[in-house]
């Protein structure tokens, strides 16, 4: 008769604080490979368990000594069993003599249903305890969540009152922040404010008017160049009033 599970039989062992010996957990059980967590974990984030969950394949059987060795709560247990059976991996609990394969089976479905109901009840109880803890903390005036953001006036007030000798723990409680935040506020207040850079003024560029004498001014009514005696006074005037540019006439003019 062919074996129902054609894959490997994988054992998972986890020690507890009371019993540090894992040899008796699956003693006499035939296994192809074992994974063992030496220390107790609070959730499913345990190195050997993570390795085992990544190692198993469809057709394998993951065998644990008992339910409390695989998970620390029914919520985690139900999640792990559903994940493994959904991947085609059977889960067997040696102590309870229970096997979950994920196949249609009225007894397995009933057992998983009971586990799911108990897990839901467990989640509800956890949430209720958390809500009670929050209400109790609020009644005592404790701040929950992130520290509130202080305004500039509040930070200045904290710095001034701390400098006058007020207790920093009392200030932290009054403003709903931690004692470390009070010291951070004081440090920020002592830090000199950044000096603004002087505003740079735009200086308009000095425009130099390079004006050349009009040819109309240098020509006579007949269109011919004027004589040297008539042109030189105009050139001298242009040199003085416009750009003070020294002009050295390069054209020789003939006297009339």
Which residues, in sequence order, are CB contacts of 13 under 8 Å at separation 6+? 22, 25, 26, 34, 35, 36, 37, 48, 64, 65, 69
For the chain, what is the largest distance between any 2 Cα atoms, rounded to a whole number of angstroms? Answer: 141
Contact call for residues 100 and 90 (beta carbons, < 8 A)? yes
In the structure, what pLDDT confidence band is assigned to residue 94 with cuts at 50, 70 and 90? confident
* pLDDT reading at 5 higher than 50: no
In the chain, alpha helices (H): 47-55, 67-70, 74-86, 106-139, 152-163, 168-175, 179-190, 215-218, 228-238
Task: Answer with the residue of higher pLDDT: 239 or 25.
Answer: 25
pLDDT for the residue 214: 46
Is the predicted pLDDT of residue 14 greater than 70, yes or no? yes
Question: What whole-number distance in Å separates Cα of residue 247 and Cα of residue 44?
Answer: 98
pLDDT band at 196 (very low <50, low <70, confident <90, very high): low
Catalytic site includes residue 73: no
Please state whether beta strands 90-93 and 98-100 pair in parallel, antiparallel, or not at all (unpaired). antiparallel
Bridge partners of residue 13, in order along the sequence = 36
**Lowest mean pLDDT, pick from 79-83, 106-110, 114-118, 173-177:** 114-118
* pLDDT the model gives residue 1: 44
Query: What digits encode the pLDDT tens for the residues 133-154?
Result: 888 877 776 666 665 678 888 8
CB 31 within 8 A of CB 61: no
Residue range 46-65: average pLDDT? Answer: 92
Contacts 24+ apart (CB under 8 A), 66-70: 66/93, 66/94, 66/95, 66/96, 67/93, 67/95, 67/96, 67/98, 69/12, 69/13, 69/14, 69/16, 69/25, 70/12, 70/14
For CA atoms 229, 231, 234, 240, the dihedral sign is negative
Instruction: For residue 99, name the pLDDT band (cuts at 50, 70, 90).
Output: very high
Position 128 scores a pLDDT of: 86
Does the structure show a pLDDT above 70 at 156? yes
Percent share of the chain, pLDDT over 90: 18
204 has a pLDDT exceeding 70: no
Question: So what's the pLDDT on residue 85?
Answer: 94
Helix (H) / strand (E) containing 11 = strand 9-14
CB atoms within 10 A of CB 47: 12
Query: For residue 89, what pLDDT band results from cuts at 50, 70 and 90?
Result: very high
* Band (238; pLDDT cuts 50, 70, 90): low
Does position 27 have pLDDT exceeding 50, yes or no? yes
**The token pair that represents 218 in the structure block:** 């240098």
Q: Assign residue 97 a region: left if phi > 0, alpha if psi is -120 to 50, beta otherwise? A: left
Query: Which has the higher per-residue pLDDT, 227 or 85?
Result: 85
**Looking at per-residue confidence, does 123 or 234 come out higher?**
123
Catalytic residue among 16, 40, 66, 214: 16
């Amino acid at each position: 008769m062919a074996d129902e599970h054609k894959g490997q039989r994988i054992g998972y062992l986890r020690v507890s604080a009371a019993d540090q010996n894992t040899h008796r957990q699956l003693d006499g059980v035939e296994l192809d490979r074992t994974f063992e967590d030496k220390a107790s974990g609070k959730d499913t984030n345990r190195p050997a368990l993570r390795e085992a969950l990544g190692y198993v394949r469809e057709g394998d059987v993951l065998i644990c000594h008992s339910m409390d060795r695989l998970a620390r709560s029914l919520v985690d247990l139900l999640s792990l069993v559903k994940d493994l059976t959904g991947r085609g991996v059977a889960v067997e609990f040696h102590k309870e003599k229970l096997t979950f394969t994920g196949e249609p089976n009225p007894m397995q479905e009933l057992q998983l249903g009971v586990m799911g109901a108990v897990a839901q009840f467990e989640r509800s109880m956890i949430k209720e305890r958390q809500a009670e803890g929050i209400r109790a903390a609020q009644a005592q005036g404790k701040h929950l969540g992130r520290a509130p953001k202080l305004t500039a006036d509040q930070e200045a007030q904290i710095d001034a009152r701390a400098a006058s000798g007020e207790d920093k723990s009392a200030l932290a409680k009054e403003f709903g922040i931690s004692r470390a935040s009070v010291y951070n506020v004081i440090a920020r207040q002592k830090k000199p404010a950044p000096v603004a850079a002087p505003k740079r003024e735009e200086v308009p560029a000095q425009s130099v008017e390079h004006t050349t004498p009009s040819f109309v001014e240098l020509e006579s009514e007949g269109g011919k160049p004027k004589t040297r005696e008539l042109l030189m006074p105009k050139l001298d005037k242009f040199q003085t009033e416009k750009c003070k540019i020294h002009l050295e006439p390069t054209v020789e003019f003939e006297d009339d």
